[in-house]
Amino acid sequence: MHVEAQQKHFGGFFFSCNRATATFAHRTNHKKVVDEDHVSSSSSSSPSFEAFCDPLQSQQSSKLKPAGAMRNGRGTSEQWAAAAPGVRPRAASVRRRLVLAFALAVLTLVAVTAAAVALGVRFEECGGPEEGAAATAGPGRRGGERAEEEAAAAPWRASRLPGSLRPRHYDLRVAVRMDNFTFAGDVSIDVECVNATRFVVLHAHALQVSSVSVTANRPGGGAVRVQRHFLFPANQMLVLVLHRELKAPRTYRVNVTFDAAIEDELLGFFRSSYTLDGERRYLAVTQFSPTHARKAFPCFDEPAYKATFSLSLRHDPQYTSLANMPVERGGGDDDDGGGDDGWTTRRFARTPRMSTYYLAWAVCNFTSRETRGDGGVAIRLFARPDAVASGAGDYSLHIAKRLLGFYQDFFQVQYSLPKLDLLAVPKHPYAAMENWGLSVFVEQKILLDARVSSASYRMELTMVVVHEICHQWFGDLVTPVWWEDVWLKEGFAHYFEYVGTDFLFPKWNMEKQRFLTDVLHEVMLLDGLSSSHAISQEVQDAADIHRVFDWIAYKKGAALIRMLANVMGQRLFRKGLNDYLLSHMYGNAARDDLWRKLSEAMRSEGQGIDIGAVMDRWTLQMGYPVVTISKNRSERFATRYITVSQEHFLYGQDGRGNSSLQWQVPLTVAMGNGSWVCSERLIWIHNKTETHRVSEMDDETWLLGNINQTGYFRVNYDLQNWKLLIQQLRTNPQVISVGNRAGLIDDAFNLARCRISDVIINEGRKHRTSSPYIRYHARTPSSGCLTMRCAARRAGYLPQGVPLQLIGYLAEEAAFLPWHAASRALYQLDKLLDRTDDYALFSDYVLKQVASRYHQMGWPSNAANGDGSVLRASYQTEELQRELIMLACSFGNKQCHRQAVGYISDWISSNKNRIPPNIRDVIYCTGVSLMDEDVWEFIWMKFHSSNAISEKKILLEALTCSDNTFLLNRLLNLSLTSDLVAEQDAIDVVVHVGRNPRGRNLAWRFFRDKWDVLNARYGEALFMNSRLINGVTEFLNTDAELYELKDFIQSNGVGAGPALARALEVVEGNVRWHRLHRRHFYQWLRKAPSPAHR
């Protein structure tokens, strides 16, 4: 029978079954409680039926029998005959037969009813549609009451665990077969009963469960009879239905035996491989975050269900095994008595209390190096034998030791485990995973060849290690209660990437500089979309969990923590974090717990700021404000007052954001004039518009808000103030801090792009107008007169010419950060313009801005860093040099192109790579784009043969730079079919081909044609699917491409999460920019002044 038809036929019995179960439960409250530890000797012929509707059969039978009826049909028929005197024997015999037939018919009806209900129950276990369950609610019941009743009767139908049982300890034994990639295990879970229940509900997914049992953990306690167990795939749950209730607050032991395959899908317990001396070798490793521990063993797979774990791994002795804890004394490399099969069993020490998704193990034949941290903590790095022998892991091992001491000192909380392992694997869905005591990294994020790695690669690798070790406190030791506050761990780890890297290399100045461009500016682009969301968002089920792991959680979380640290001051901030960690160690916490501890730290110094009241506005609302500062020129206030207003900043359809949103804004303000700047002042902005007194200002005094960009908001000014700031940058930029110079560039470009209501700007004043055009007339800072025209039907907060004039000072900019901010803004424009007919106007404009500083900085030495040192004092200079070369080559500087071609030609002819490591990615890409197919084949061959992880990465990306569409198509297809391209790298291939103007249509078509394959491969992996979707679509900017995207979403949008909605908004914005701004943008470029020179 077809499933839908089956439920329709038997759906009416669900209500009877549920009512009968409820009646039975009510009646048993009036009986003497039978000890559930007693094993009943009776057995049911229909356990399926008994499990859900024990009393139903007797209930129905009693209704069918008349009063005084005997136990069989004959008794009933004889009673009927005796009641009718005078009936002849033959007639009585006939009547007796009729009564007997009637009785048999009744019994048959009862049997059919029982079978029907049993089939209905069996159907319900299989997770069919919900019509039957809906029928039980009745027409007059409210949805909430119905949901509560359903959850009580069938708790496995709820998306969250019922909470009746709490795990205390897992004893997990796993046997791993690497010859056929399977594993088998059994787990014993000590649970505490919190609320009486007949159901044990826990998580299990993609497991074959072979046996289950439940026993009482108390003297004299016995087995608790399990009537049945079944998997409920819809919620990835395993359900044990018990004969009697478990009683609170008793403890029990749940035992489950299971087996499964070691899959090749990057999640759960999965396999990977590498080649050593021509031999393919395999390893198996776990990735449980966020909801994949259930794929490796049955467990209570939610963060708040913390427990301790004892783990034993059994495997072929040619492998070694690792886990969160060290091998237990006397528990390693011994046979456990299972026979002369030659297997090895390793028993690992008991873990502290932790969440299931931080449990980890690996079976591999790696080698290692070890060092010792403070307090004797063993720090080990495991990797491929050839990588370890070459010293590729030494750098990460060195900084891990230093970082462990740094965090212990910063947090004033000791590292909790006796060892910390760093495991480098060839294939992993993420850069790294912070499993407690066993952090797993993809090779390219932890292995470093100092001879060929660039400064930027070293920086990236360093920050990944810093991030994961921070998680040993924020995440492992103190875990968010639920996924809605995942930013509590990811935001802190992302913030400390920069703080910890500053500890390692103070000259890099990461927290005050690179944080701005790489975190603050990047996430504000995302958070300015209407498809953004609050950093704390409601999470109901497993599908929602993947939605919260995005850059809002990581980068906005980090930016808000940085803002809070600057408001509180470092000393009080550290005091609050220490109290937070000590109060919740080995447990869970929510955002209010953090706010409470930070507020207590403030009050301890007599400062009454309610951190929760301030930060709830930033964490429970989407987006951020744009704060507009202007001098108040009225006679009443003279020039000692400023007017400050705030509103929701939003790119998008109508420009203005949600008018109901307000924030408590910690605005720092400074003033300057020519060669001086006054000290900053903190002003709290609570309302839409406020007036504040500052120092006396004259007409030449400029205002500057958000000093060093510590706040998470944009700042706008009246146009006269923008004019004064531009003049300051052209005459003496060092008066304004390097962070604020970068911030002015980023704010100006984004304020010009944000679409708001029409404005007319004249002599520094702004008025509403119904005119479809805007004109801006102002005096130029560099000459006597400038007419800056920006006409658009819909304009931004600023005319298009303001940011372009602002970066005119860059010829005199000697610092890396403002150039980096400017290049990011210019590349945003480049992706909009690179297929337009007038593109040369834009590229020429960029080259004019770059030319002077590019020639002044020159090219780096072609000598590799021979001593292997990774500590370079000239980091900022190297990064600026690289940024200028990249801009020059990208936008067509002929001298840059000749230099790149010369480097590639020398490499091919001499077979010696003399290209400086810091610019290899730029040279490789430029050479491939300019030279013939033989160069592409040469790079492809080098990609095959290189053993350096960082080198392989940039070689693969260089292959996507070709102008040859045949080669690009070939590369796209190889990315999914060749073993030479790792699964996590295939996304980079597709995205980088899409960035190439010649490959954009190819990548977009490939993405749509291969969507089912790509989604099946990456759909469950956090970030991967969204990175693929965003990377392929962000460069689309025509009406035709927008139509294709809408059609794709309509056909394939289910299951892709919010990434497609965000992609649609971005592409709509790109198309809108072309319609509203492109013509006027090019008009300004045709009249653009030359770059300023002093």
**Active site positions, annotated:** 468
Q: How many CA atoms lie within 13 A of 545 on its CB side?
A: 17
- Work out the number of other CB atoms within 10 angstroms of the CB of residue 482: 17
Report how far residue 656's alpha carbon sits from residue 62's, in angstroms, rounded to the nearest whole number: 70
Q: Tell how strand 378-383 and strand 419-425 pair up.
A: parallel
Q: Tell me the C-alpha distance between 945 and 842, whole Å.
A: 39
What are the beta bridge partners of residue 643?
630, 691
Cα–Cα distance measured from residue 198 to residue 805, given in angstroms and rounded to the nearest whole number: 72
What three-state secondary structure class fits 199? strand
Q: Show Cβ contacts of residue 947 under 8 Å, excluding neighbours closer than 6 positions.
A: 386, 390
How far apart, in whole angstroms, are the C-alpha atoms of residue 297 and residue 308? 15
Specify whether the CB–CB gap between 670 and 683 falls below 8 A: no
Structure tokens at 604: 């301890």
Residues 1036 and 1064: their CA atoms lie apart, in Å, by 10
Look at strands 587-589 and 478-480 and give their pairing.
parallel
- H/E segment holding residue 370: strand 367-372
Q: Please check whether residue 873 is in contact with residue 447, taking contact to mean a CB–CB distance below 8 angstroms.
A: no
Count of H-run helices and E-run strands, the chain: 36, 33
Question: Which two three-digit tokens encode residue 870?
Answer: 């990774």
Structure tokens at 896: 């840059």
If we measure between CA atoms, which residue out of 204, 210, 268 comes closest to residue 233?
A: 204
* Radius of gyration of the chain from its Cα atoms, rounded to whole angstroms: 35
Q: Which residues contact 643 (CB under 8 A, 6 or more apart)?
A: 629, 630, 631, 632, 689, 690, 691
Rounded to whole angstroms, the Cα distance separating 709 from 715 reads 10
User: Between the CA atoms of 9, 15, 16 and 18, what dihedral angle is there, to the nearest 10 degrees?
Assistant: 130
Beta-carbon count within 10 A of 507 CB: 12
CA–CA separation, 463 and 432 (whole Å): 11
Q: Rounded to the nearest 10 degrees, what angle do helices 455-470 and 875-890 cross at? A: 120
Q: How many residues does the chain have?
A: 1094
Alpha-carbon distance values, 298 to 214, 302, 940 (Å)? 14, 12, 45
Task: Return the structure tokens found at 1042.
Answer: 């927008």
Structure tokens at 454: 């660039």
First vs last Cα of the chain: how many Å apart?
Answer: 86
Beta strand residue intervals within 857-968, DSSP E: none
Where do the DSSP E strands lie in 122-262?
Answer: 165-177, 182-193, 197-203, 208-216, 223-224, 226-232, 237-246, 251-261
